Amino acid sequence: MSKKNRNGGVVYSTDPDFDYQTNDEPEAETLPSAQQTLKIWLVKLGGNKVVTAVRGFIGSSSDLSDLGKQLKTACGTGGSVKDDEILIQGDHRDKVLAWLTGKGYKAKKAGG
């Protein structure tokens, strides 16, 4: 007999030979900046708010967070890192593009 948590994973098993295995995928290895191709989007949120979104980063979540922190500092504004993308408050596409290309990333504006 076994119980399952709400995520579908086994929490407890009465089988003494049960071997719990996770389906977690290993984090992707971070590519060098010259091999990254990033796209910079302007996303409009409700209430006339806009954010600059940087998408396409291939690597670990900690490296993505570090890049997000550096971009927020370079733009002098707030933001966050969610769902494998960096969100910078406001329209800072030109600053972000200049900063990323200066650091060796392949970056370009995307969207309309």
**CATH no. for residue 34?**
3.30.780.10
- C-alpha span between 101 and 6 (Å, rounded): 44
In a domain, 11, yes or no: no
What are the pLDDT digits (tens) for 82-105? 999 999 999 999 999 999 999 999
- What is the pTM (predicted TM-score) of this model? 0.74
In a domain, 3, yes or no: no
Q: Which domain holds residue 101?
A: 27-109
What are the pLDDT digits (tens) for 13-58? 777 887 766 666 666 788 888 898 999 999 998 888 999 999 999 9
Domain count, the chain: 1
- C-alpha span between 58 and 44 (Å, rounded): 24
User: Is 70 buried (19+), middle (13-18) or exposed (0-12) by CB count in 10 A?
Assistant: middle
